[in-house]
Structure 1
Amino acid sequence: MTEKGIDVGLIAKTDRPKGSIAFTNARIITMENDEVLENATIIIKNNKIEAIGASSEISVPANATVLDVNGKTIMPGIVDAHAHIGAFRAGLNTKKHWQLYANLAYGVTTAHDPSANSETVFGLSELVKSGEMVGPRIYSTGFILYGADGDFKAVINNLEDARSAIRRTKAFGATSVKSYNQPRREQRQQVMQAAKELGVNVVPEGGSTFFTNMTMIMDGHTGVEHNIPVAPVYKDIVTLWSNSNSGYTPTLIVNYGGMNGEYFYYERDNVWENEKLLKYTPRHIIDSRSRHRTKVPQEEYKNGHILVSETVTKLSNAGVKTNLGAHGQLQGLGAHWELWMLKAGGMSNMEALKAATINGAEYIGMGDEIGSLKVGKLADLIVLDENPLENIENTNSVRYTIINGRLYDTDTMNEIGNEAKERGKFYWENNKYNQAFPWHEQTQSFSIPGCSCYALKH
């Protein structure tokens, strides 16, 4: 119930690069309404956007690093509004946290983690802010306000309990809290009232319980995390939700009520052969999830994540702001899968891209700083080899990622801007742990009656 904490008094400078970078002759999707600029230039000074517009009208500073990106497309970095980034660990973190590199390599420049170890995730956030670590902007709820029995249950039986819990979370640096499995509606309402008093968003999860989701909308929550377990929906739900200010982060990649969307892509693509993904992700994670694929009849996907996505589109068309949330299922690439699944339900390419950028930025309360390309906003953007307005899967052609004004080549994740810096090795690169298993070189056959057997070579 403590109302005041102890001021640690530790102050660190926020990282900000120096110099100017200009991208010229690009197609720029600004996310300011439906604005698309052709043959355009964007100038970044330090960590902010200084100018944007037609190349014929923009004067490039003489001291700027200039990249002619003719034929390429620039858009804001992806905002993953429901991103679990490997922050449920105790003790020390690796300085090269691979989850952060994987996200940047695939153009995710902001991650909002709605369930994490508070000490770990806010430590990571501060290390990224100070420039001690490389990664996307990190926001989080820290530990969830969990209502079920367990090691980190948040006991909320009155308004003062809720105030105490949220004061503590806010002191860590949270701008949002996650209300989860508080069983009584009055408890969830107490969390809402305390959060409003303290200026904090509430992003709840209904635990795949439809009526809990609906009361969360009625009670004014910031949004609903994970898809509601009912599809399709009809006029009553559309009318209720569209007349609220609650957003929706459906996380189709872990779809409730049907096949998880991620299985579609594991079945469709040889993910274990994705060289870019393997540069930034331990091989054992990729292999264990993708090499032994589950074969699913296509109608189960149609009646699974695609049907849910169609409901998301219906709600979006009625005015419900939809956000991209990839749930940390596959760092970086999973955000693109989630984006493509939003499109699969009937969204236009532009609407899906908005869900991946400006919608998520506004949802987590950062829309004035990130989520669109506009003079004065922070310089978080990506350069694509292909145009996602023509084919949504072209989002997975990220050539450069710019986070807070720092420019990275996604093929290496070396910083190549005004303050060039080579990426060091991940632990598996130091010990060759991530090498593919070369069966044809490392095994030899031998014969036992009735058995075809193999043994490792010495």
Structure 2
Amino acid sequence: MKTLKRILKFIVISIGVLLIFIAIVLFIDTQSTNYLKVENNKSAHNNSFLITNVNVIPMSQDTVLVDKMVYIKAGIIQNIADNIEIKGVEIIDAKHKYLTPGLIDMHVHIWDRYELGLYLSNGVTAVRNLWGMPMHLRLKEDINNDEIISPLFFTTGPKLTGPEFIGDDNLQLVSPNDAKEKVISYKKRGYDFIKTYYGLTEDIFDAVVEQAIISDIDIVAHPSQKVSYSYHFKQQIKSIEHAEEIIQQPLNYNLLDTLKLKHVFNEYEKSKESFFSPTLTVYNNIYQMLIDDNILESEQLQFINPLIKKVDSKAQFERWYHTKLRDSSIVKTIKKQHDFHLEIVKTLHKNGTTIICGTDSGIGVTVPGFSIHQELAFYKEAGLSNYEVLKTATINASKTHSIMNEMGTIEVGKIANLILIDDNPLLDLSALQNPTTVFIKGRKLNRETLDNYEKQAKNRNNLIASAVRYLENLIIEK
């Protein structure tokens, strides 16, 4: 009996020590991102400004409003005019630079708070996180309460999959009733959207859609291979993700199957409610891994979360490296499919499908923030004009969900999520890189501050903290 008591006492003490250790690790990680707190950003205390001598790219139309004034009060755009007389407000002389809406990345995976600064540094003022976990609800609360400087943050719940096991990080639904309960739960807990994923059968998929309508919550669809691709064109599904899923599912990797491809195009053309997020960058990064054996040691990978870099980035690289050793033709195959994705985007855009910018950043070797510029460059390569490219990351993105409607353009009444840049992106998209100033809900972040956000995120040491938060997800959401 005494031995049993000693064992139980040891277990209790061990659990207590472990919990204390975890608390300390998470506290230290949180303290390490104090540079994002509003109180520690003196230049961001004010959210009311009068910007003068600025060329405005409103994105509500393809034009430049030359030499304007823009009045921001309490984070909201109040007036845009040739001359605005207002007293008691800080004046910013834009020196004839260009003011555009902040960029919106509609497909990201957030792993820590450091990444928020990386998005801001690259002019991304809103993100849609598509792999929801409990940590994201806490993050969302801090952002909404204006405790930290961050892009506006929207998140799905955990990925919903069917009965077939496809990984520990997916939420397996075993029945229609189970599906409805999860949708209700995610809405109640504060997740913004539902994400459907691989493996959803028709009956379970129907239950998700039915309950989403009742619960008034939008769905983002990573297509399920258990139903036809056309099954995803439902009113409650606001966007369909990934160009490669068109290749993998309706075409079954046959790039020459023009009849099936035409059917997909026709479905998009008929469904004006379904927006398309191609995520070209994340697939092209497979090609980048194949042609660069040292990519894991590259400069860009120093900005990837250390847990992701150690586990996911490494696993993806090794998978494709060994595939290349077995079959060298894979390099041309992947490049050919990427080029085919460009043709898909070109045709969908030509047919009137609304393209929204998403990078799938935060996994593999797709770097948070920086990757959006590559994604936009691919849309340009696919034949979109600069204005049409910019629409994918501004006004198009903002129209996807009603809760995102108050951003995406520079108009009176919109949230002052803005970027100030030296040159005109309607002439050169690279002008969007390294903005001189970012306004997030009217709060001003200068280039020095944004560079510091990058510096803090580079080679960060929060692997254990990230692992703890991921473990929390596996425990709570299962």
Same-fold status (TM-score > 0.5): yes
State, as a whole percentage, how many aligned pairs show the same letter: 25
SS of structure 1 residue aligned to 2:49? strand
State the alpha-carbon separation in 2 of the partners of residues 302 and 58 from structure 1. 52
Alpha-carbon separation, structure 2, partners of 1:108 and 1:270: 25
State the shift of 1:405 in Å.
Answer: 1.0
**Distance between the aligned counterparts of 1:264 and 1:406, measured in 2?**
42
2:101 counterpart residue number: 76
SS at match of 1:131: coil
Counterpart code for 2:358: G
The answer for the alignment partner of 1:436 in structure 2 is none
Residue 266 of structure 2: aligned partner: 239
Match of 1:124 among 139, 146, 155: 139
Give unmatched runs, 5+ long, in structure 1. 1-13, 88-96, 415-421, 432-458
C-alpha displacement of 1:365 = 2.8
The alignment status of 1:34 with 2:62, answered yes or no, reads: yes
For 1:157, the equivalent position in structure 2 comes to 175
Name the CA shift for 1:122/1:315 in 2 (closer, same or farther; >3 Å): same
SS of the counterpart of 1:142? strand
Question: How far apart are residue 243 of structure 1 and its match?
Answer: 1.1
For residues 298 and 191 of structure 2, what CA distance do their matches in structure 1 show? Answer: 36
1:265-280 alignment runs, 5 A limit:
272=298
Amino acid at match of 1:79: I
TM-score (norm 2): 0.71
Residue of structure 2 in register with 1:443 after alignment: none
Q: Distance in 2 between matches of 1:241 and 1:146?
A: 24
Does residue 64 (structure 1) correspond to residue 97 (structure 2)? The answer is no
Per the alignment, residue 204 of structure 2 pairs with: 187
Q: Which one of 281, 289, 303 corresponds to residue 336 of structure 2?
A: 303
Task: Write out per-residue CA displacement over residues 346-388 of structure 1, whole angstroms, 9 at most, x where no aligned residue.
Answer: 1111111000111112213334311111111111011112221
Is the 8 Å Cα contact of residues 386 and 397 (structure 1) preserved in structure 2? no
The letter of the residue matching 2:141 is E
Structure 1 distance, partners of 2:152, 2:411, is: 18
SS in 1 for 2:354: coil
Query: Does the CA contact (< 8 Å) of 1:19 and 1:64 recur in 2?
Result: no
Displacement of 1:302 = 5.8
2:449 is paired with a residue whose SS is coil
Q: Kindly state the Cα deviation for residue 340 of structure 1 after the two structures are TM-superposed.
A: 1.1
For residues 296 and 460 of structure 2, what CA distance do their matches in structure 1 show?
26
Q: Partner of 2:356 in structure 1?
A: 323
- Tell whether the 8 Å contact from 1:259 to 1:300 is kept in structure 2 after alignment: no
Please state how far the C-alpha of 1:23 moved relative to its aligned partner.
Answer: 2.0
Deviation at 1:345, TM superposition (A): 0.7
Task: Give 3-state SS (helix, strand or coil) of 1:390's partner.
Answer: coil
* 1:354 matches 2:391: yes
> How far apart are 1:210 and its partner, in Å?
10
Give the distance between the partners of 1:261 and 1:357, measured in 2 at CA: 28
Hey, what's the Cα distance between the residues in 1 that align with 2:369 and 2:178?
37
Deviation at 1:226, TM superposition (A): 1.4
Counterpart in 2 of 1:22?
A: 50
For the residues of structure 1 that align with 2:74 and 2:62, how far apart are their CA atoms? 27
Q: 1:64 to 1:318 in 2, by over 3 A?
A: same
Moved more, 331-340 or 224-233: 224-233
Show CA shifts across 1:270-299 (max 9, x none). Answer: 99557xx97x7679989989x999999997
Query: Given the alignment, which residue of 427, 432, 440 partners 1:390?
Result: 427
Instruction: Give the structure 2 partner of residue 409 of structure 1.
Output: 446
Greater relative contact order (Cα < 8 A, sep 6+) = 2
Tell me how far apart the structure 2 counterparts of residues 270 and 183 of structure 1 sit (CA, whole Å).
34
Give the whole-Å Cα distance in 1 for the aligned partners of 2:161 and 2:183. Answer: 12
Residue 402 (structure 1) shift: 0.7
Matching of residue 248 in structure 1 with residue 276 in structure 2? yes
Aligned to 1:106: 122
TM-score normalized by the length of structure 1? 0.74
Evaluate the alpha carbon distance shift between residue 313 and residue 263 of structure 1 in structure 2; reply closer, same or farther with a 3 A threshold: farther
Matches within 5 A, 1:306-455: 306-328=339-361, 329-413=366-450, 426=456
In 2, are the aligned partners of 1:28 and 1:36 still within 8 Å (CA)? Answer: yes
Which residue pairs with 1:172 in the alignment?
Answer: 189
Shift of 1:337: 1.1
Work out whether residues 189 and 219 of structure 1, in 8 Å CA contact, stay in contact via their aligned partners in 2.
no
Number of residue pairs aligned between Structure 1 and Structure 2: 391
Please give the per-residue CA displacement for 1:438-458, whole angstroms capped at 9, x wherever unaligned. xxxxxxxxxxxxxxxxxxxxx
Please, which runs of 5 or more residues in structure 2 have no aligned partner? Answer: 1-37, 248-254, 462-478
Is it true that 1:214 corresponds to 2:230 in the alignment?
A: yes
Alpha-carbon offset, residue 214 of structure 1: 2.4
Distance in 2, Cα, partners of 1:341 & 1:389: 15
- Residues 281 and 185 of structure 1, relative CA distance in 2, 3 Å threshold: closer
Query: Given the superposition, is the C-alpha separation of residues 19 and 102 from structure 1 closer, same or farther in structure 2, using an over 3 Å criterion?
Result: closer
Measured in 2, the distance between the counterparts of 1:310 and 1:392 equals 20
Corresponding position: 1:229 with 2:266: no
Q: Could you say what secondary structure the match of 1:138 adopts?
A: strand
Rate the CA distance shift 1:37–1:193 in 2: closer, same or farther, 3 A: same
Deviations 1:376-435, CA, capped at 9 Å, x for gaps: 111101111222111222221311111111110133338xxxxxxx9798487999xxxx
C-alpha distance in 2 between matches for 1:225 and 1:305: 15
Aligned-residue offset at 1:175 = 2.3
C-alpha contact 2:201 2:226 (8 A) present in aligned 1 = no
Do the aligned residues in 1 keep the contact of 2:200 with 2:226 (CA within 8 Å)?
Answer: no
Following the alignment from structure 1 to structure 2, what is the Cα–Cα distance between the partners of residues 392 and 428?
A: 25
CA positional deviation for 1:26: 2.0
Corresponding residue number in structure 2 for 1:51 = 79
Pick one of 143, 157, 161 that aligns with 2:158.
Answer: 143
Q: Determine the C-alpha separation between the residues in 2 that align with 1:253 and 1:210.
A: 26
- The one-character-per-residue Cα deviations of 1:165-214 (angstroms, maximum 9, x if unpaired) are 1111012212210011243122212211111111111111126x496432
Contact 1:176 1:364 in 2 (8 A): no
Q: Distance in 2 between matches of 1:325 and 1:198?
A: 26
Residue aligned with 1:373, SS: coil
Instruction: Provide, for residues 218-247 of structure 1, a one-character-per-residue CA deviation record: whole Å limited to 9, x for no partner.
Output: 676222111133368654322211111111
Task: Find the aligned partners of 2:120 and 2:371 in 1 and give their Cα distance.
Answer: 12
Cα offsets for 1:301-328 (capped at 9, x unmatched): 7623232122112112212111111112
8 A contact 1:122–1:142 mirrored in 2: no
- Change in Cα spacing, 1:272 to 1:72, as seen in structure 2 (3 Å) is farther
Mark the CA change 1:385 to 1:165 in structure 2 (over 3 Å): closer, same or farther: same
Task: For residue 240 of structure 2, give the secondary structure of its aligned residue in structure 1.
Answer: strand
For residues 379 and 42 of structure 1, what CA distance do their matches in structure 2 show? 10
Tell me, yes or no, if the aligned pair for 1:379 and 1:402 is still in contact at 8 Å: yes
